[in-house]
Amino acid sequence: MTTDTRDQILQLRNEGMGYQAIANAVGEKRDAVRYICKSRGLGGKATEKMISDGRICKNCGIEITQPPGKGRRRRFCSEACRRSWWKKHPEEGRKLDKALYQGTCACCGKEFTAYGNNHRTYCSRECFIKARFWT
C-alpha cells in the first residue's frame, strides 16, 4: 500500500466515511483500512467521530454549518434539535452530583447539604440570623 493510498484513506475517514465505503473507494480490503484508521486514532463509528468533532448534529445527524470566526463549536443544527436532545438526555447535564457539599450547622449542629458552596456555615437563613444577632 502506498503512502498516497494511506493519505487518501485518512482523508476519507476524516470526512466521515465508514471502513467498507473507504475500502470500496480505494480498492483495498476493509480490514486493512480499519487497521490504518485505528492506528492513527480514527477508530470507532464514523458518525461518533463527526459528532465529537462538531461536524454533524447530535440529535438529527444533519451537517452543521459553523460560521467562521468567533464562538465555540456548535453541537446542534437548531434550537429545536438542542431542546429535543436535552429532553431525551437529562442525565447528561446533571452537575448537581458534583457540586453537593456536606456540612454541620454552626448554630443548631444539624447536618445539611449545600449546593455549589463548600464554605457554607449555616443550614438555613433562620440559623444565620439567630447566630448573628441573638447570641
pLDDT by residue for the chain (135 residues), tens digit each?
788 888 888 888 877 778 888 899 899 898 998 888 888 777 776 666 666 666 777 777 677 777 777 677 888 888 998 899 888 888 776 665 677 889 999 999 999 988 888 889 999 999 999 999 986
Question: Taking the CA atoms of the chain, what radius of gyration do you get in angstroms?
Answer: 26
Spatial distance between the Cα atoms of 123 and 107, rounded to a whole number of angstroms: 8
Give the type of residue at 112.
F
The full DSSP string for 45-105 is -HHHHHHHHTSB-TTT-PBP-PPSSSSPPPS-SSHHHHHHHHHH-GGGG--TTTTEEEEE-
Spatial distance between the Cα atoms of 22 and 10, rounded to a whole number of angstroms: 9
Q: pTM value?
A: 0.40
